[in-house]
Structure 1
Amino acid sequence: MSDESFYKHHVFFCMNVREDGRRSCGEHGAADAQKHAKKRIKQMDMNGQGKVRINQSGCLDRCEEGPCLVVYPEGVWYTYVDTEDIDDIIDSHLIGGKPVDRLKI
Structure 2
Amino acid sequence: MSDEKPFYEHHVFFCMNVREGEGCRPSCGKHGAETAQKHAKKRIKELGLNGQGKVRINQSGCLDRCEEGPVVVVYPQGTWYTYVDTSDIDEIIDRHLLKGEVVERLKI
TM-score normalised by the shorter chain: which range applies?
over 0.9
Partner of 1:66: 69
Partner of 1:76: 79
Partner of 2:26: 23
Q: Which has the larger radius of gyration?
A: 2
Identity of aligned residues (%): 74
Shift of 1:37: 0.1
Partner of 2:10: 9
Counterpart of 1:12, as a letter, is F
Shift of 1:22: 2.0
SS at match of 1:60: coil
Residue-by-residue CA offset, 1:1-48 (whole Å, 9 max, x unaligned): 94x600000000000011243210000000000000000000010000
Partner of 2:88: 85
Q: TM-score, normalised by structure 1?
A: 0.95
SS at match of 1:5: coil
Displacement over 6 Å in runs of 4+: none
Counterpart of 1:28, as a letter, is H
In the alignment, structure 1 segments of 5+ residues that lack a partner are none
1:36-55 residue pairs with structure 2 within 5 A? 36-55=39-58
- Measure the CA separation in 1 of the matches of 2:53 and 2:69: 30
Shift of 1:66: 1.9
